[in-house]
Structure 1
Amino acid sequence: MIIRPLEKRDLKFIYKQQNARNVMALWFQEPYTSIDELEILYDKHVLDQTERRFVIDVDKQFAGVVELMYIDYLHRNTEIQIIVDSKYQGQGLAQMAMNKGLEYAFKVLNMHKVHLYVDVENKAAIHIYNKLGFIKEGCLRQHFFAEGKYHDSYIMGLLQSDFSE
């Protein structure tokens, strides 16, 4: 398993993910994206220095994405997000891919802190984030709307000094 930069050829897989309600509910986003919109967004953001999008690549197959979003070079922090394709879940890829994303954030971008948001009900994700060293920093009550209701979300953070590969 490797992570590599997202390329235009990957958009067909992103399209599939971003239109799956159960997948986008985990990111608290509406499952509504056209391939045309994805291509426009790709072209618009391909040179954007405030984000990095990586494909989780397993034997040259698209297995998901890891994203560093809202990269702040002044305060040296960023948000991390991950989606593992359903056919690759349960194989430990999420933890490995997150670790590689964190390594990039801390060792390449020199971020001081990486944070994420996770639904308080997403026990599997919380377990992985805890294993990686993330700490719950707070609970945002009814902060995100997905699947017809408001969800509480933990904000979790990891400092560079606490990161171990």
Structure 2
Amino acid sequence: MKLRPLEKRDLPYIYEQENSRRVMALWFEEPYSSFDELQILYDRHILDQTERRFVIEDNESFIGVVELMDIDTLHRHTEIQIIIHSKYQGHGYAQSAMKAGIEYAFTVLNMHKVYLYVDVKNAAAVHIYKKIGFIAEGTLRQHFFAEGRYHDSLMMGIFKSEFEKPTK
């Protein structure tokens, strides 16, 4: 498994994932309405220094996406998001890709903290995040609206010092 920067050639895969109501509800967002909209967003954000998007690949197969959003260079924190294609879920890709994205945030971007939001009812994701070392920082009540209702969201964070592994 490896991460590489998102490229224009990846947009059909992104559209397939992000045009799924079920998948986008996990990010508390609505699906894109058209492929043209996705292309416009790609062109608009390609040089945006407050975000980084990576494709998760294994043997040239598109596995999913890891994104670092709202990169704040003053306070040195960023939000991380992940989507794994449904046919690759349950194979350990999410944990490996999250670790790689976090490593990038801490070692390349010099972030102090990486945080995320997750639906309190998404037990599988919460389990993975805790296994990586994320700590629950609080519950945001009815904070996000998706699929016709409000969702409580758990905010979780990890500091660089908590993520760093001891050297052997």
TM-score range normalised by the length of the shorter chain: over 0.9
Q: Where do 4+ consecutive residues of structure 1 move more than 3 Å?
A: none
What residue in structure 1 maps to residue 43 of structure 2? 43
What residue in structure 2 maps to residue 159 of structure 1? 159
Contact persistence 1:15–1:33 (CA under 8 A) = no
The residue matched to 1:65 in structure 2 has which SS? strand
Distance in 1, Cα, partners of 2:127 & 2:27: 17
Distance in 1, Cα, partners of 2:141 & 2:14: 29
Structure 1 letter corresponding to 2:110: N
Q: Percent identity?
A: 70
Distance in 2, Cα, partners of 1:125 & 1:56: 17
TM-score normalised by length of structure 2: 0.96
Q: How does 1:9-158 map to 2 (within 5 A)?
A: 9-158=9-158
The residue matched to 1:81 in structure 2 has which SS? strand
Contact persistence 2:15–2:32 (CA under 8 A) = no
RMSD: 0.8
Deviation at 1:33, TM superposition (A): 3.2
Distance in 1, Cα, partners of 2:97 & 2:163: 14
Contact persistence 2:32–2:38 (CA under 8 A) = no
Distance in 2, Cα, partners of 1:21 & 1:37: 16
Count of residues in Structure 1 that have an aligned counterpart in Structure 2: 165
- Gap regions ≥5 residues in structure 1: none
Deviation at 1:134, TM superposition (A): 0.4
Deviation at 1:139, TM superposition (A): 0.3
Distance in 2, Cα, partners of 1:110 & 1:34: 36
Structure 2 letter corresponding to 1:162: E
Contact persistence 2:11–2:39 (CA under 8 A) = yes
Structure 2 letter corresponding to 1:106: F
Moved more, 23-32 or 75-84: 23-32
